[in-house]
Amino acid sequence: MSVSSTNDNQVPGGIYLCQANKKISCGACCGLYNVADPSYESMMGILTWRTDTFSHINRDMDTILAFKEEVEDREPQERPFPEFHHCPYIGLVGKELSRVGCLLHPLLDENKSIDFRGLSFYGGMACRVYFCPTYHHLPAAFKEIVRETASNWYAYGLIITETKLLNTIFEKVGNCLNRPLTKNDILKNKNTLEAVRKLLDLKINWPFRRRSSSGPTNYFFEDRLYSRPPVNYETIGKPVSRHYTILQELESHFNSAKELHAAEDLIDGLINKVITQVDRLKSEG
Q: Which string of DSSP letters, residue by residue, matches 253-266?
A: --SSHHHHHHHHHH
Stretch (H or E) spanning 249: helix 244-249
pLDDT at 1 over 50: no
> Is residue 70 domain-shared with residue 180, that is, in the same domain?
no
Question: What whole-number distance in Å separates Cα of residue 279 and Cα of residue 60?
Answer: 58
The pLDDT of residue 281 is 76
Among 47, 34, 16, 7, CA closest to 158: 34
The pLDDT of residue 3 is 45
The pLDDT of residue 2 is 45
Task: Note the pLDDT tens digit of each residue in 123-142.
Answer: 888 877 889 999 999 999 99
Among 165, 174, 192, CA closest to 247: 165
pLDDT at 80 over 70: yes
> Is residue 154 domain-shared with residue 80, that is, in the same domain?
no
Query: What is the extent of the structural domain holding 168?
Result: 138-284
- Main-chain phi, psi angles of 279, to 5 degrees: -65, -40
> Is residue 164 domain-shared with residue 232, that is, in the same domain?
yes
Q: Which residue has the higher pLDDT, 7 or 176?
A: 176
> Is residue 93 domain-shared with residue 162, that is, in the same domain?
no
88 domain-assigned? yes
The pLDDT of residue 278 is 93
End-to-end CA distance of the chain: 40
215 domain-assigned? yes
Task: Note the pLDDT tens digit of each residue in 149-182.
Answer: 999 999 999 999 999 999 999 999 999 999 999 9
> Is residue 147 domain-shared with residue 269, that is, in the same domain?
yes
CA distances from 126 to 30, 87, 280 (A): 10, 13, 45
Name beta bridge partners: 19.
25
Task: Tell me the pLDDT band of 33, cut-offs 50, 70 and 90.
Answer: very high
Mark which of 105, 131, 157 sits at the end of a domain.
Answer: 131
> Is residue 153 domain-shared with residue 279, that is, in the same domain?
yes
